[in-house]
Amino acid sequence: MEILHIGTLNKTTGGPAMSTYHTLKGLVQQGVNAEIYCPPFQNESIDLQAITTHICSQALKTKFAYSPTYKKEVEALGDYDIYHAQGIWLYPTYALVDVARKKGKPYVITPRGMLYPQDIAKSNRFFKRLSLKFRLLKDLNQAACIHVTCQEEMKHCRELGITSPIAVIPNPIEIKEYPYQKQDDIFRIGYLGRLSPRKDVEGLIYALAAQKDQSNIELLIIGGGDSVYESFLKEEVKRLNLKNVRFTGFLSGEEKDKALASLSVLAMPSEFENLGNVILEGLVRGIPCIATQGAPWEELNTHQCGWWIEYNQEALNRTLEKATHTPAEELKAMGVRGRKLMEDFYSIESISLKMKQMYEWIVEFKNKPVFIYE
């Protein structure tokens, strides 16, 4: 079985690149010939030895990522059993759908949280509504399957009028040993990921400022992205006269591992996430996590490996205070439970097997897996 994905493997895009890479790597391990067609790399890319990568021509510098040669380049790669688009709104997804239709092949679309009402409303709302009305909804409804990462995302898809089968398969994380350990007694809360207004990183700054005793608390913000937003965050730190906030910029490899190992708790304060790879990154390293109820992480509560809280500043303030008063032994035990959760349900092996079963259901008409809803 041969599958062509389109998406990105640039590390600076964060979760989408890593989850796409891990999915492809797992599919190859499952005996599936999974390849990816992606843009030229900017800065650092992921280690590509485990997968087959095709590089497309540089798109024109527009938000739509249009390339006049894109369709021809995809067609020239040959025939695949399934075409799989990672993300929506951009030209490559529409082009891939056109190629699949021309070749009479099925296609799958992974919206990556881009159909959440909050995401539609936050930017380019007029364009997105027009796209849905005149093209995208038709493409989604003619897909062999839509892949989402949680039940909440499926609910939003159905509310938009998507009638295609929907597979609920979370993103995978690589289960491996991490050599670095926390070396100090400072309670350090961290943020990891792209700096963007929709991530609400300022909530962590305000939560820190709300703590009565800040003498042994530090906030570590790991990531880069929107320079205007990053400047805003730094101005807020300055305005609040906080001396215990550090911005590291984008980190990868050993630097990233060392920074994460220094954390007591990792937090994802954003209003909504279709999954939130940052939680996977934390739990697999044995770090308790905080996520808002705009993300599908009730398991943080049910598996006692973190806090799943309401999306408001008061809840974040209270949770940070609670976390800082949690004994180190209990934080460690929470981390052990989180690691076990990753091993049992989010490994590359278990997730790629589900992806393979989805593809087999589409191409070989095998029994419908329980995680696919029609």
* Sign (positive or negative) of CA dihedral 174, 177, 179, 185: positive
Q: What is the pTM of this model?
A: 0.88
Strands 306-309 and 52-55: unpaired
Average pLDDT for 112-124? 88
pLDDT at 45 over 60: no
Q: What's the mean pLDDT in 179-208?
A: 95
Q: Which residue has the tokens 């999954």?
A: 275
DSSP-H helix ranges across 136-175: 137-141, 151-159
* CA proximity to 233, closest of 278, 211, 202: 202
Reported as a single tens digit per residue, the pLDDT across 246-271 is 999 999 889 999 999 999 999 999 99
Q: Which helix (H) or strand (E) holds 361?
A: helix 348-363
Q: What angle do CA 191, 224, 44 make, to 5 degrees?
A: 115
The answer for residues whose C-beta is within 8 angstroms of residue 279's C-beta and 6 or more apart is 266, 268, 289, 291, 295, 297, 300, 306
pLDDT of amino acid 212: 92
Task: For residue 181, give every residue at least 6 positions away whose Cβ sits within 8 Å of its Cβ, in sequence order, or none.
Answer: 261
308, 297 Cβ separation under 8 angstroms: yes
- Are the CB atoms for 194 and 13 separated by under 8 Å? yes
169 Cβ partners below 8 Å, 6+ apart?
147, 148, 149, 351, 354, 355, 358, 371
**pLDDT mean across residues, the chain:** 93
The pLDDT confidence band at residue 126, using thresholds 50, 70 and 90, is: confident
Q: Each residue of 240-249: pLDDT tens digit? A: 999 999 999 9
